[in-house]
C-alpha cells in the first residue's frame, strides 16, 4: 500500500512518499543496534531523559502547528488533535521525571544472600503503529524505551506519513542520536524481515486483531517478546440509579470522539431496563445535534472517517447487522452529498447473539444499545465478547460500582467517566484486545531485562 497523505475531509491527495529499500532498512537496523551497544544505552540514564524533557518542551510549544498536521492527514477534530499533542508532551515529561525511579534496582529478601533485580535495555524494538492517534501511539512506545536504553524502529500506518516524518524530526531536534528512533516507510514483508533479525529483541504493535495475530506469531516464531494493543468492543453500562443526563452526554461523546475511531471508544451500551427509554431518547438527541464538517472548524463536532475504505467497511457492517435483524434506530448511511469520508452517527438496537454485529468492533460513529434486567445480566453480556480492553460504568452507588468493575473481564474500567488515558496509568487489555501494558511504571518494564543478582557471603 502506498504511503500517501490524503485529506479525508475532501479526499484530495496532498503528497506521496518514497518507500525505503532493503539497503536503507539494513542501515537503520545497524545504526539502532550500534546505539544499543554504546554508552548512550548502557550508560547514565540522565543523558536519555534529557532528550525526553526537550521533546516534551518542543511538543508543548507547537501544539497548534502539530495538531493541524494530525487533523489534515487523518481527519481528527482540531480540538481533539490539540489534546493528543498535549498528552504526548505529558508522556515524554512523565518518563523524563520518573524513569530513573522506575528502573532503580529492587531488593528482594532471600536466605541465599543479598538479592536485587536490575533493569537493563534489551536492544532494538520494532514497533508497528496505527493511524487513529498518529502521535500518541508513537509516544507511548518511544518514551519508555528511549528512557530504558532501547532503540526503536517504527513502521507507521501508510495513511499518516506526514505525522510519521514530523514525529521523527521532533526527536532528532530534541537531541536523540542516530539510531534512537527511526521511521521507515516499508512493507509488511520488510517488517517480517526486521522481526526475524537477531539484532531485534522486541516487537510492539497497536492495530487490528488480524495484524496483531500475524506480528505476534512472527515474533513468537523467533522467541521474541511482543506487546499487542488491539481492538476493543467496550461496554458503557448505565445502571438504574445513574444520572441519565450525564450518562447520555458522556456516552455520546465517548462513541463519536475521533469519529468513533478509538479502540477504547464506548461501543456496546448496556442499559438497565428501568432507564432504557429515557437514556435512548436523550442519547439520540445528542447524536441528532452533531454537526459534521471540516475538522479544522472549531464548530464541527463530527469529523470524517480516516479513509474511503473505512467508510466502505463501516457501511457493510451496518447493512449486515440490519439484514440479521438489528433495528436501525438512527442514521446508518454514508453521507453521499459530501466528497469527504463522512458517515452518519448511527444507533443500532435489538441485536441478538446470532447477529455478526454482536461480536464485531465497529470503528466509526455506530453505537449498539442493549437492555438488561439486572447487574447479573449486565456482567454476563459485558463479558460475552472476544475483546476486553476498556469499559465504563455509570451509577451513584460506588459500592455497587466497585463490585461490578471487578467482575467485568477487561483491562480497564472507569466509573462515571468515559474510558480515558493518562501517562501515569497503565493501558492495555485481555482476550483478543492483546497483552502487555503501555504507559505508567508497567509500560517501561515490558522491554527490559529484569536481571536478578544474588550476592552471597564469602565461604
B/e letters for 298-328, b = 16+ CB within 10 Å, e = fewer, are eebbbbbbbbeebbeebeebbeebeeeebeb
pLDDT(359) > 90: yes
pTM: 0.97
With H, G, I as helix, E, B as strand and everything else as coil, classify residue 334.
Answer: strand
Model confidence pLDDT, tens digit, residues 215-229: 999 999 999 999 999
Q: What is the pLDDT of residues 284-335, one digit of tens each?
A: 999 999 999 999 999 999 999 999 999 999 999 999 999 999 999 999 999 9
The whole-chain average pLDDT of the chain stands at: 97
Cα–Cα distance between 90 and 326 in angstroms, integer?
Answer: 42
Q: In this prediction, what percent of the chain has a pLDDT beyond 70?
A: 100
pLDDT (mean) for 28-48: 98
Find the helix or strand (DSSP H, E) in which 242 lies.
none
What is d(CA 45, CA 48) in angstroms, rounded to the nearest whole number?
5
Map residue 290 onto helix, strand or coil.
coil
- Could you tell me the three cell numbers for 43? 550508560
Q: Which three cell numbers stand for residue 68?
A: 493541524
DSSP state of 344: -
DSSP lists the bridge partners of residue 116 as 107, 453
**DSSP class per residue in 416-441:** SS-----TTS-B--EETTEES-BSHH
The answer on pLDDT for 457 being more than 90 is: no
- Segment 44-57 shows an average pLDDT of 98
Provide the 8-state DSSP code for 302. Answer: B
Q: What is the torsion angle, in degrees rounded to the nearest 10, for the CA atoms of residue 415, residue 420, residue 423 and residue 425?
A: 30
Which regions of 78-199 does DSSP assign to beta strands (E)? 106-108, 114-121, 124-128, 151-155, 181-183
pLDDT tens digits along 390-418: 999 999 999 999 999 999 999 999 999 99
The DSSP element (H or E) to which 159 belongs, if any, is none
Domains of the chain with bracketed CATH: 3-230+432-456 (3.40.605.10), 235-422 (3.40.309.10)
Distance CA 395, CA 243 (A): 7
Cα–Cα distances (Å) from 397 to 241, 243, 244, 272, 401, in that order, read 8, 11, 14, 14, 6
Confidence of residue 17 (pLDDT cuts 50, 70, 90): very high
Establish whether 173 is a catalytic residue. no
DSSP label at residue 180: S
Indicate the pLDDT class of residue 362, thresholds 50, 70 and 90.
very high
pLDDT digits (tens, 9 = 90+) for 369-382: 999 999 999 999 99
**Which residues does residue 292 pair with via DSSP β-bridges, in sequence order?**
302
Q: Which of 229, 360, 438, 446 is flagged as catalytic?
A: 229
Phi and psi dihedrals of 359, rounded to 5?
Answer: -105, -5
Cβ(331)–Cβ(347) below 8 Å: yes
Measure the N-to-C terminal CA separation of the chain; round to a whole number of Å. Answer: 64
Beta bridge partners of 334: 343
pLDDT at 459: 59
Q: Which three cell numbers stand for residue 229?
A: 494493543
Amino acid at each position: 500500500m502506498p504511503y500517501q497523505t490524503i485529506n479525508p475531509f475532501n479526499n484530495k491527495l496532498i503528497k506521496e512518499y518514497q518507500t525505503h529499500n532493503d539497503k536503507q532498512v539494513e542501515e537503520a537496523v545497524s545504526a539502532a543496534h550500534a546505539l544499543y551497544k554504546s554508552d548512550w544505552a548502557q550508560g547514565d540514564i540522565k543523558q536519555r531523559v534529557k532528550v525526553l524533557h526537550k521533546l516534551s518542551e518542543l511538543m508543548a510549544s507547537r501544539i497548534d502547528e502539530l495538531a493541524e498536521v494530525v487533523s489534515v492527514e487523518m481527519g481528527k477534530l482540531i480540538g481533539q488533535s490539540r489534546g493528543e499533542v498535549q498528552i504526548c508532551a505529558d508522556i515524554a515529561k512523565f518518563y523524563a521525571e520518573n524513569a530513573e525511579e522506575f528502573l532503580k534496582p529492587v531488593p528482594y529478601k532471600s536466605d541465599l544472600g543479598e538479592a536485587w533485580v536490575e533493569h537493563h535495555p534489551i536492544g532494538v524494538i520494532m514497533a508497528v503503529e496505527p493511524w487513529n492517534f498518529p502521535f500518541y501511539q508513537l509516544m507511548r512506545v518511544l518514551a519508555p524505551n528511549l528512557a530504558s536504553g532501547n532503540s526503536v524502529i517504527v513502521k507507521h500506518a501508510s495513511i499518516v506519513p506526514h505525522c510519521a516524518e514530523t514525529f521523527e524530526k521532533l526527536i532528532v531536534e530534541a537531541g536523540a542520536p542516530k539510531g534512537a528512533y527511526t521511521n521507515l516507510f516499508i512493507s509488511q514483508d520488510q517488517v517480517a524481515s526486521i522481526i526475524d533479525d537477531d539484532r531485534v529483541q522486541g516487537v510492539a504493535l497497536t492495530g487490528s486483531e488480524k495484524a496483531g495475530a500475524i506480528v505476534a506469531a512472527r515474533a513468537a516464531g523467533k522467541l521474541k517478546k511482543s506487546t499487542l494493543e488491539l481492538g476493543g468492543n467496550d461496554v458503557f453500562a448505565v445502571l438504574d440509579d445513574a444520572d441519565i443526563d450525564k450518562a447520555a452526554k458522556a456516552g455520546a461523546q465517548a462513541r463519536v470522539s475521533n469519529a468513533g475511531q478509538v479502540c477504547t471508544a464506548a461501543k456496546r451500551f448496556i442499559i438497565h431496563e428501568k432507564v432504557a427509554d429515557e437514556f435512548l431518547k436523550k442519547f439520540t438527541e445528542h447524536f441528532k445535534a452533531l454537526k459534521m464538517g471540516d475538522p479544522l472548524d472549531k464548530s464541527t463536532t463530527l469529523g470524517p472517517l480516516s479513509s474511503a475504505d473505512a467508510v466502505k467497511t463501516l457501511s457493510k457492517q451496518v447493512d449486515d447487522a440490519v439484514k440479521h435483524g438489528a433495528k436501525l434506530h438512527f442514521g446508518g448511511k454514508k453521507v453521499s452529498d459530501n466528497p469527504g469520508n463522512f458517515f452518519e452517527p448511527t444507533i443500532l438496537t435489538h441485536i441478538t447473539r446470532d447477529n455478526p454485529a454482536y461480536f464485531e468492533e465497529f470503528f466509526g460513529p455506530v453505537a449498539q444499545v442493549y437492555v438488561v434486567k439486572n447487574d447479573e445480566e449486565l456482567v454476563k453480556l459485558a463479558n460475552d465478547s472476544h475483546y476486553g480492553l476498556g469499559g465504563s460504568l455509570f451509577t451513584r452507588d460506588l459500592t455497587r460500582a466497585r463490585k461490578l468493575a471487578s467482575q467485568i473481564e477487561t483491562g480497564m474500567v472507569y466509573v462515571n467517566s468515559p474510558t480515558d488515558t493518562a501517562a501515569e496509568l497503565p493501558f492495555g487489555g485481555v482476550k483478543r484486545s492483546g497483552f502487555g501494558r503501555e504507559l505508567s511504571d508497567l509500560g517501561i518494564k515490558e522491554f527490559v531485562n529484569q536481571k536478578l543478582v544474588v550476592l552471597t557471603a564469602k565461604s
